[in-house]
Structure 1
Amino acid sequence: MLAAMPQEAEYLCQECGVRSSASSLTWSCPRCGGPWDLDFTAAPVPRAALAGRVNSLWRYEEALPLRDPYASLGEGRTPLVRLTESVSAKLDYLMPTLSFKDRGAVLLVELARRIGPDRVARVVADSSGNAGTAVAAYCARAGLDCVVYVPEATSPKKLEQIRAHGARLEVVPGDREATARAARAAADEPGAFYASHVYNPYFLHGTKTYVYELWEDLGGRLPDTLVVPVGNGTLLLGAALAVSELLAAGLVERRPALIAVQAGPVAPLARAYAAGAADAEPVPAAPTLAEGIAIPHPPRARQILRAVRETGGTFRTVTDEQIRAAQRDLARRGLFVEPTGVACWAAVTADPPRGETVVPLCGAGAKTGLAAGA
């Protein structure tokens, strides 16, 4: 049976105030075209009651817009491992599909499943690899047809993983932006549910569990600094959302500083931050080892910049050579992480933040292998 849709959750456009049902297949604001947010209020999570709950991200049920999932693969609750006296890494590559994208993908697919087969004929996703893999896996779990659009330069290992889950692959000539345009055109067809990790806010309510886990593992507090890789900003915005919810519930006393890390060759947000701009101008696509965060024109740029500034944080960029060195260094510490996933460690080793710091290791090295020259 399909679990009931949450009555309290509605899509909301923060830019122009338009609302839509959470069961709607409208994937963006019909007035301004911007991404949806979710009008949903999280209830306080009782930390003392967590010990007896399911050992996955679904243990934070008060904070989630969906409960009792069928599509779950046991995602979440990844280890926190100390790397230096002040820096710890959260091993988010230890997920069912080997990347942090599982946190958001499971909510998107569960939402599509609950909307029902009479309205959802297929799930459409676009990705440079990891998000598409995650959506494909959860669609396989939920019994939903899935089509994943990827750029032509996507890692062959990621393509193999997507195919293995039974999704249909559409390889798009050109870059990540061309892929997104092709997927959005397909998402406008009747019966398509666009499982967009950028436009659909349910994804952010999945990624926010990253911070809820830190809060639990650190005994009801948060570190001084959260360093987060940023392309489309889904992990950073999820983190900011969780911090706001924990503050509103009186479960933490302050916001950690958010340090956003971008790939040097494609860094529109870092450029906008340095210029004091409220929004980011598109930049040209360029080759970089950190393909997962090489987003020339992120749709949630205004939200990302605002979130970083509200915490007193900043932006940093890393070079391909720094990424190669960081991947080698982590591998020698026993952690094999893909190039995009080591960007935060590269930034931290180049310029260590003050105080207790956590970096995410977002994708497994098995997905890509060693970076050329590493």
Structure 2
Amino acid sequence: MRKRGVLIINCILIVLLTGCWSRIEVNDLSIVMATAIDKMNNGKFRVSVQVAIPKQLGPVGAGGTGSGDGTTVLISETGESVMDAIQRLQVKLPRRIFFSHNRNLIIGERAARDGIFQTLDFISRVREARMRSFILFTKGEAAPLLKLTPSMERYTSETIREEQKLGAGIRIRIKDFIDMLTTEGISPLGAQVAIMPEEKGGKNSKQTPAIVGTAVFHGDKLAGWMNDQDTKGVLWIRNEIEKANITVSVPKEKGGGKISVQLMKGQSKVKPILEQRKVKMNVNINAEVELFENGSKLDLGNPKELHYVQTLLEKDVKKKCQLALDKGQKQLHSDIFGFGNALYRTYPKVWKEQYKKQWMEEFPDLEVSIHPHVSIVRTGLTIKSPEMKD
């Protein structure tokens, strides 16, 4: 009897557990590749999604090169909220909108300046939301970026993703942005993306999305922008520098010319110094670079001249960091460098009692010292320039 009872229970469980009653077939999904969110003049939200057309997608080169060539379609709708706009979008699509493959979230300037808590709240609650998607910001409206047909990739979301993976600019994912919003002593930031011609000065050339700088925030509201050069300084200070080329000019009294190096390895460390309950920051930067071009008359096989060039490189790194600091402290008043967080982690009691409530008032006058150390560890297959050999 006992065996028969167990057998009956197993049969019932098998019947209940067999099959995928809640399954959704791929053929029933509208797969979103990128999302753009804008805020209109009337206060409504416009959500634009770049949706893949499955029958047109395949190996690179087999399909088109963008939404204009049939691999994706761009659909937009407005609503009282982000969710309302998406529900209105769904009416236009015969398949269920599916965000799990969303690669980029691009937010327009008006929506960013008014605050993006509402947008992030929706994204953080949606079960299908991909928190590892890149979050980017643009001057003007975001939707036009998804209309481009770049030459190198099949659609714009792929182009932006590849640029972000290169690590040449700020690379922030949605989860990183939310972490910064909820972390003490640091202000959020994100990459700035813009529409650029593929050929410089070419009026009729194709246009492509490009990472051109950084969007700086106070809380969830956009405070301003930093250009590409300022962004390099931000990356150095935040210990996020991955790829960088440094070109310095040699003074005429030293023969003139330019020298270019490429970063091999860079590391930065922020150290808070507390003196009589007054804080200042030391930023120690160590970099190893490889010589790629010597257009000067300096003999880099000479240790003295090699050291001199390293000094020029250190001055350039310090200048970029100082430009970023001046803009962050004096113009935008936003601690995107995380100095407050470094103070909080090193001296939590002092932070809580003295600085936490008034950090944004203290930050613009914070004393920051930059100490770069650059080493040329490779000079290539030759040390002297061709002009010196002649």
**If the TM-score is normalised by the length of the shorter chain, which range does it land in?**
under 0.3
Q: Highest Rg: 1 or 2?
A: 2
Q: TM-score, normalised by structure 1?
A: 0.25
Higher normalized contact order (CA 8 Å, seq sep 6+, divided by chain length) = 1
Q: TM-score, normalised by structure 2?
A: 0.24
More strand by share: 2
